[in-house]
Amino acid sequence: MPIDPDFQAHRSAQVHGNRKVGHDGDSSKLGIYGTDVAVDFDLCVGDGACIDVCPVNVFEWEGEGADRKAMPSRERDCIYCFGCEAVCPKFAIRVTPLVIK
């Protein structure tokens, strides 16, 4: 199942280190990392397609081996091309453009 399009409203944000992580109360899950560009670590298979396609290098590797995931470490650099969403085989990425009112 793809990442919840309304994950920010449905999950409580907690800070782990210097990163916001969205959790739904299930402590066995890794959670969703990021806000404008979010990756559900429970869905991410770590294939690196998002890293390869991103023209502004928003992502970097987090972890090693089978636990390796794509971390949205430079969300503010995102140009909202949605390439990462398009290539993610598990639909683990949600890009939410900043709306200025």
pLDDT recorded at residue 34: 82
- Does 62 fall in a domain? yes
Within a domain: 53 = yes
Q: Has residue 78 been placed in a domain? A: yes
CATH code of the domain in which 87 resides: 3.30.70.20
pLDDT of residue 60: 93
DSSP state of 43: T
B/e letters for 2-30, b = 16+ CB within 10 Å, e = fewer, are ebbeebbeebeeeeeeeebbbeeeeeeeb
Residue-by-residue pLDDT tens, the chain, 101 positions: 677 777 666 666 666 555 666 656 655 567 788 888 999 988 999 999 999 999 999 999 988 888 899 999 998 899 999 999 999 999 999 998 866 55
Residue 54 lies in a domain: yes
Kindly state whether residue 101 falls inside one of the protein's structural domains.
no
Residue 55 inside a domain? The answer is yes
Number of domains in the chain: 1
Tokens of 23: 């959790």
Instruction: With respect to residue 71, please indicate whether it lies within any of the assigned structural domains.
Output: yes
Q: How far apart are CA 48 and CA 92, in angstroms?
A: 12
Structural domain range at position 24: 7-95
